[in-house]
Amino acid sequence: MVNSEKQFSREQFRESRPDPLDIIKINGRWAQVFGAGSPDEIIRYLDGDEEYSRIYFNKLELLNKWETGAINLKAIYGVELPEEIVAKAKGGYEEEEDPELKVHITVFGEYVDKSKE
């Protein structure tokens, strides 16, 4: 299926966008996706105050796509994800029953503002 305005398929659109509960890095800060809107989504930063914010993916550039479990990020991509960031992330109902499963939360990728290119 192709979007008539932008001429891209749903698969191409999802290829550069994380799913809800994925962890992402935005301008150097770790965050977790909570909304599933278009073109904006609600995120919660996992550092500092853990504030919620609305981001617009059409204003961000995907620098690195990792799409792997938090436990694999350093081994596969050499990217350090602090344990305290993973601990602050919200998981699904499985993680509520077994908190050790949080290490399998998907870390989607790293974004920067297009204006910072």
State residue 70's pLDDT score. 95
DSSP 50-63: --EEEEEGGGEEEE
Q: Does 112 have pLDDT greater than 90?
A: yes
* Helix (H) or strand (E) segment spanning residue 44: strand 40-45
pLDDT tens column, 8-20: 555 655 677 899 9
State how far the Cα of 109 lies from the Cα of 65, in Å rounded to an integer: 4
State residue 10's pLDDT score. 54
State residue 89's pLDDT score. 92
* Rounded alpha-carbon distances, angstroms, from residue 115 to 15, 31, 60, 101, 111: 22, 20, 8, 37, 12
Q: Does 1 have pLDDT greater than 50?
A: no
Tokens linked to 110 = 């790293």
State how far the Cα of 76 lies from the Cα of 71, in Å rounded to an integer: 10
Please answer whether residues 43 and 34 qualify as being in contact, where contact means their C-beta atoms are separated by less than 8 angstroms: yes
